[in-house]
Structure 1
Amino acid sequence: MAAARRGGRALVLAVAVAAALAGRADAGACVDLGDCNGHGTCNTATTQCACYDGWGSSSDVTTYRAPDCSKRVCPSGNAWADAATATNTAHALAECSNAGICDRTTGKCRCFTGYDGEACQRSACPNECSGHGKCVSIAQMASENNAQPVDIESPAFTYGGSEAVATWDEDKIFGCVCDSSWTVSLASGATQEPEWFGADCSLRHCASGDDPMTTADETDCVGKVRNGQTVAGRTGGVAGNLCHVDCANRGICNYNTGICDCFDGFYGVACTLQSELAVGDKS
């Protein structure tokens, strides 16, 4: 009887020890993986980590997943360049849009030069438009009648949507629409060119005026399109629309300051005033 009791106690003890060891094994199944570093759950059956979103989950778009969930995943966007998978099928989602390097510590993209956005998903505006313009997509730019080149219609052009093959990048290509203290359009009373100009809006037009030495009005832009250029299918300025004539053609515009340096015999903000020319000494 005593022997039976001792045998029973030994069996209970063995079961308890086995259970304790099993529990310890479950608790430390991913100990070699740092217990998933608090960024995932441990699958005790496979002793593998199932990482949370942003740390290498199965739904994350990434080229690298740390087995111990210790490395971050960066935002993704349509790849700027990749191999097509079928006819008219390309630009799949890619980490940092294939235009940057993922910082695995911070989970932020370090974009290559010329790219911007949290996923490097858009082109950067040059010099951030120098503080004299706004950085907008080509789709938005097409809908604004003050963007260059100006058009009488707004929107001047409608893109087909980012899902269309030909216009997949309509929200990825960005450029500057420069500021102006005067209205810019082809409408009456408006001028066709903005005060600030250039790809990065760093240059400034001088005051405009009609050349005092000609009979024609150089500022009259009726039927004209930006400095006399003609573009097929585009309408020119309406009655009262103005062409911009820096310094009235009677001075040199300093595009860094926006101030005219008038030729001898001319003066005024736009060099539109003519002084009496000096007469040489005939004595």
Structure 2
Amino acid sequence: MPAMKAISAAVVLVLAVLETAQAACPNACSGHGTCGRYDACTCHVDWVGGDCSLRACPKSWAWVTTNANGDINGDGDRDDITIYDSDNAFTASGFDYVVDEQEPYGTWEQWPAFSNAAGVDEGHFYMECSNQGICDRSTGECECFEGYTGAGCRRSSCPNDCNGHGVCQTVSQQKGSYNYNLWDKDMSRSCVCDAGYSGPDCSERKCGYGDDPLTVGQTTEKQWVDIYTDYDATDDNTFAGHFRLKYTDYNGKQWTTDAIPVVPYDTSMSSDYTDAVADALNSLPNDVLSGVTVTAGYAEHVITGTVNIASSAFGTGTNNGYSVTVDTTPVRCPETAADKDKVRYLSTTALLNYDGTTDSSFTDVTDTTCYIVEHMWSVRFEITFPNQYGDLTNLEVDTSEVTVGGLTDSQRLSALVGSSVSSSRQLATQDEAGGITMAFTHPSDTANTEVTCSSGNSCDVASKVVTLTTGDAAAFPLNSRVKITCGTVLRGTFTVAATDDDAVITVAEDLADCDGTTYDIIVKQESYYFETNTDITALLSVGDVLEVDGFNTRSPKISSINAWDATRGLTHIFFADSYTGDDSNDSETTSDPSANEDVAQRGDATSEKEECSGRGLCDREEGICRCFKGYTGWACSLQNALSLGYGNE
């Protein structure tokens, strides 16, 4: 019995010791931690507090890093920190390295530290609720401040949830091709509004866009769409099938046409071919496009100068003949044979069929114009948007239904079909020697555009014919406008109807005679024009716009084009005005003939694309333009005398 009492006393003593040891940690760490040295709890994951009774909330990068944590290590100051960098969890600093039970890998007492490593962002440490919310310790969930949401308040919220007219997206989702990789790429969000809506919360309606009716002389959009397959010496890679075009409207919404039939171009095609493309675009829903017109041709550009062909051999013409390298290239020479649309392959000087056999169908010809065909089998659609305003987003082409040999690229598992879209097109070959040159003449350059034949010389004006000194007539090409002065009397401005390019010009309008033996005869050029050594006349029309290397801006619209002069190997292209704002070219009468002159036709619009055409205010609640007095229409783009003084309020 005494033995049993002794055992019982020992058990009681052990239990008392254990109870005392456990009781040293508050609430025995609430069952959510372990009691360690110094009678301090080390809490399990997601639990905090001296007794591990409180739930921890999710952490993420702090929107703003703050928080003075006090004297964590009890050393009598509040300056202790841990320096973080991109390669190490921490490094020691001039201050003591400091941790606590919640942050065993380092924390700070007053302010976080900055790493000395270049490019390291120390402004956004991990903090509970991303430092934009209050942690509910009973649930472990963040109560986010206004404007923040998500687990740990790690995302910004979008105002009014975008009002049902948009989606809330992060910077990373919106960045597109931009390389944005900062700390908030998956945290900061904003509304991406549906088509027709705008504003921070997508609550505002957009109004119609139009061209300011008070601006004149502008151009609308023109784009070139190429579909092609390239040369293969063993296969006929002609194509067939269907393609689709994708148009992006003013609001960023993309529309896709129905399937459109396609085959390589030749001039025997009926207008049904291009009508199908125009109809597909004009039939897009909601009248997003109207009035679109389409023409078709080869994907090609002009070979500079003239070409001779004899016995199916390709050679230099007599006047400014080509000297650029066009070997191993598809070419087309429209005047050489009955099958003028046939594209031949040029190997050295021999013209070959696509299979490599010699083509003997050419008719010999001298000084003809030929083209480099950029792809052996191709079609180039020129698409004009007369009722759209401003510079449009380029169309996109879906060629997934185009076939070669009856198979699409996906069925063949190889890419044969190509496509491209551009708002400019190359007009001619460019080369350091032998490429296209463009010489610009401006009327203010009197040294090159004004001729004075002093009295007593053999000059004369009689019956519209102006006789000058030998060589002087070359300054006044056909169709240019000239001012003619007899003595001190200005006779007027006239159009050159004929010239021998030497000493004689004939004008179209009536012109009083002037005796050159008595009076000085002064002829002054009034036209702006280019002289070029390349027959680009078939590719251009009145109203088109050029862009030429060496000039800071593109040209005004073309007002007229002279026919190609094969004898002299040149032509003239006239403009209604000079290069606006490009004073550096006012006296430039020749471009550098040895330079690589990049000459292109520009199709991007110069018309404005303004909400309500800049002639009204948008009612954001209704999405309706309230036009100023004197203007009307859906986008206030029409002037209307009947509405003057009333408006459409």
The TM tier, using the shorter chain, reads: 0.5 to 0.7
What amino acid does structure 2 have at the position aligned with 1:52?
H
Higher CA-based Rg: 2
1:84 correspondence with 2:114: yes
In the superposition, the TM-score normalised over structure 1's length comes to: 0.60
- Structure (1 or 2) with the greater strand fraction: 2
Q: Deviations over 1:120-147 (max 9, x none)?
A: 334343443333222222232111xxxx
Matched-pair contact (CA < 8 Å) for 1:30–1:42: no
What amino acid does structure 1 have at the position aligned with 2:114?
A
Q: Which 5+ residue runs of structure 1 have no aligned equivalent? A: 1-8, 57-65, 144-154, 162-166, 181-194, 225-237
Q: 2:189 aligns with which of 146, 151, 174?
A: 174
Matched-pair contact (CA < 8 Å) for 2:390–2:606: yes
In structure 2, the residue matched to 1:72 is 55
Q: 1:142 aligns with which of 140, 163, 175?
A: 175
Deviation at 1:78, TM superposition (A): 1.9
Identity fraction in percent: 38
1:37 correspondence with 2:70: no
Q: Which 5+ residue runs of structure 2 have no aligned equivalent? A: 66-111, 221-386, 394-602
SS at match of 1:277: helix
Between the aligned partners of 2:113 and 2:145, the Cα distance in structure 1 is 20
In structure 2, the residue matched to 1:228 is none
- Superposition map of 1:54-203 within 5 A: 54-56=46-48, 66-79=49-62, 80-81=64-65, 82-87=112-117, 88=120, 90=122, 91-143=124-176, 155=177, 157-159=178-180, 161=181, 167-180=182-195, 195-203=196-204
What amino acid does structure 2 have at the position aligned with 1:258?
G
What amino acid does structure 2 have at the position aligned with 1:84?
F
Residues 1:21 and 1:85: Cα distance change in structure 2 (over 3 Å): farther
The alignment yields a C-alpha RMSD, in angstroms, of 3.9
Between the aligned partners of 2:113 and 2:163, the Cα distance in structure 1 is 36
Matched-pair contact (CA < 8 Å) for 1:30–1:48: no
Q: Deviations over 1:219-243 (max 9, x none)?
A: 532289xxxxxxxxxxxxx858997
Between the aligned partners of 2:164 and 2:390, the Cα distance in structure 1 is 29
- Structure (1 or 2) with the greater helix fraction: 1
Deviation at 1:261, TM superposition (A): 2.6
Residues 1:30 and 1:78: Cα distance change in structure 2 (over 3 Å): same
Matched-pair contact (CA < 8 Å) for 2:33–2:52: no
Between the aligned partners of 1:43 and 1:32, the Cα distance in structure 2 is 6
In structure 2, the residue matched to 1:26 is 18
Q: 1:52 aligns with which of 13, 19, 44?
A: 44
Deviation at 1:12, TM superposition (A): 3.0
- Superposition map of 1:233-244 within 5 A: 239=604, 244=609
What amino acid does structure 1 have at the position aligned with 2:156?
S
Deviation at 1:212, TM superposition (A): 5.5
SS at match of 2:209: coil
SS at match of 1:17: helix
Between the aligned partners of 2:143 and 2:644, the Cα distance in structure 1 is 67
Deviation at 1:70, TM superposition (A): 1.7
Q: Deviations over 1:43-68 (max 9, x none)?
A: 49976544322112xxxxxxxxx222
Deviation at 1:27, TM superposition (A): 5.7
Between the aligned partners of 2:184 and 2:624, the Cα distance in structure 1 is 39
In structure 1, the residue matched to 2:626 is 261
Q: Deviations over 1:135-180 (max 9, x none)?
A: 222232111xxxxxxxxxxx2x123x4xxxxx23322332222211
Deviation at 1:276, TM superposition (A): 6.3
